[in-house]
Amino acid sequence: MKTRDNAGSGAGGAPSDSRLGAAMGWARAATGKMHMMLLHSLGWDEKNIPATSLQIIEKLGEGGFAVVEKAWYTPSPGADERLVAVKRMRPQLAEEPGHYEMFQMEIALARKLRHRNIVGYVGCGGGAAARDAANTFFVQELMQGGTLRRLVMRQMLQNPTAIYSDAAGLDICLQ
Annotated binding-site positions: 87
* Residue list for the binding site for ATP: 87
- Tell me the three-class secondary structure of 101-136, residue by residue: HHHHHHHHHHHHCCCCCCCCEEEEECCCCHHHHHHC
Distances (CA, A) of 108 to 6, 51, 104, 105, 121: 47, 19, 6, 5, 10
The Cα 125–Cα 48 span in angstroms is 5
